């Protein structure tokens, strides 16, 4: 049977990524101690050789649907593993493709407590991806996006100078603080299991303070005091995340890709402050 997509092209160009974007599906994943429903937004791509007119777009949706259905029987422990399964299946169904790629994003929730009895369900974003080369390796990447708080060390120091307050004064000086979004992602080998919850914990420990949906008045004061005892530039946040990643994942190989970024919605400016590092564990260890 002939079809338009299979027309042979002459003198044309190969394409790096052809596929579909913004497909939403509910997915059940096995998280530590529980099964969780995630509402996942997917982008799916394969490459296209120069001699073929079109990619069979509907196959992307069929693969997605089938692999998600399988997860009812064959539990997946994370989005990145689901992505890897989809990538391998995409290469089987698009017989002309040498490369496949899947990107995923989903809201995610964890219980958090200030240690005073009150706890609340906090929201995070999971960002995972996977890619596969025909006859070659499949890679998977798991990342988290965490909303937290930064308090500026520079303005704190300047206010101290103006007020003549010593750095030894235990009552930290006032400064500007603000909402911050920090992300970290790691590209790991297929046989490595890396827990998103652990990445979230690392990021939260590197901010001036985590944030909480439910805070009674005394809790508010405690968060404010903690944040001011722990002032951070976006530069500090990214570096601390990188340092803790190195410590936590000593066994991961040098070629693991890591990307960390932090953006503060500055309370004293209309613009955002931003820092990022895009590197490998090997380079960080050097």
Site for its own copies in 142-181 (CB under 8 A): 147, 149, 152-155, 157-159, 161-163, 165, 171-179
Judge residue 271's burial from the number of C-beta atoms within 10 Å of its C-beta, 0-12 exposed, 13-18 middle, 19 or more buried.
exposed
Q: Cβ–Cβ contacts within 10 Å for residue 15, how many? A: 16
Q: Is residue 133 a contact residue for its own copies (CB under 8 A)?
A: no
The distance of closest approach from Cβ of residue 44 to its own copies in the complex, given in angstroms and rounded to an integer, is: 9
User: For its own copies, which is the closer residue by CB, 92 or 268?
Assistant: 268
Distance, in Å, from the CA atom of 158 to the CA atom of 176, rounded to the nearest integer, reads 11
Task: Tell me the two tokens of residue 53.
Answer: 């007119």
Q: Is residue 255 a contact residue for its own copies (CB under 8 A)?
A: no
Q: Is residue 121 a contact residue for its own copies (CB under 8 A)?
A: yes
Q: Is residue 192 a contact residue for its own copies (CB under 8 A)?
A: no
Task: Tell me the two tokens of residue 35.
Answer: 């099964």
**Which residue in this structure is represented by tokens 């913004």?**
22
Q: Is residue 201 a contact residue for its own copies (CB under 8 A)?
A: no
Cα 93–Cα 94–Cα 97 angle in degrees, nearest 5: 140
Closest alpha carbon to 264 in 146, 157, 149, 125: 149
Q: Which of 62, 195, 254, 255 binds its own copies (CB under 8 A)?
A: 62
Q: Is residue 274 a contact residue for its own copies (CB under 8 A)?
A: yes
Q: Is residue 110 a contact residue for its own copies (CB under 8 A)?
A: no
Q: Which of 80, 90, 266, 281 binds its own copies (CB under 8 A)?
A: 266
Q: Is residue 238 a contact residue for its own copies (CB under 8 A)?
A: yes
Stretch that binds its own copies, among 47-55, 70-78, 85-93, 127-135 (CB under 8 A): 47-55
- Residue 220: φ, ψ to 5°: -55, -50
């Amino acid at each position: 049977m002939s079809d338009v997509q299979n027309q042979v092209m002459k003198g044309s160009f190969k394409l790096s990524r052809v596929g579909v974007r913004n497909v939403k599906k509910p997915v059940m994943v096995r998280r530590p101690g529980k099964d969780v429903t995630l509402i996942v937004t997917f982008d799916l791509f394969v490459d296209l050789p120069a001699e073929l007119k079109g990619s069979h777009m509907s196959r992307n949706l069929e693969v997605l649907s089938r692999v998600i259905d399988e997860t009812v029987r064959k539990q997946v422990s994370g989005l990145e593993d689901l992505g890897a399964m989809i990538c391998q299946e995409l290469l089987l169904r698009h017989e002309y493709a040498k490369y496949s790629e899947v990107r995923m994003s989903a809201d995610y929730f964890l219980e958090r407590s200030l240690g005073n009895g009150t706890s609340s369900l906090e929201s995070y974003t999971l960002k995972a991806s996977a890619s596969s080369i025909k006859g070659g390796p499949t890679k998977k990447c798991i990342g988290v996006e965490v909303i937290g708080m930064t308090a500026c060390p520079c303005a704190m120091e300047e206010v101290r100078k103006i007020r003549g307050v010593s750095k030894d004064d235990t009552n930290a000086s006032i400064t500007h603080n603000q909402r911050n979004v920090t992300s970290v992602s790691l590209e790991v080998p297929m046989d490595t299991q890396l827990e998103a919850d652990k990445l979230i914990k690392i990021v939260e420990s590197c901010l001036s303070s985590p944030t909480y949906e439910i805070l009674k008045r005394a809790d508010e004061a405690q968060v404010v005091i903690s944040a001011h005892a722990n002032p951070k530039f976006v530069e500090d946040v990214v570096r601390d995340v990188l340092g803790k990643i190195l410590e936590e994942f000593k066994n991961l190989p040098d070629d693991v890709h890591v990307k960390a970024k932090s953006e503060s919605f500055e309370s004293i400016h209309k613009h955002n402050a931003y820092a990022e590092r895009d590197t490998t564990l090997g380079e960080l260890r050097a």
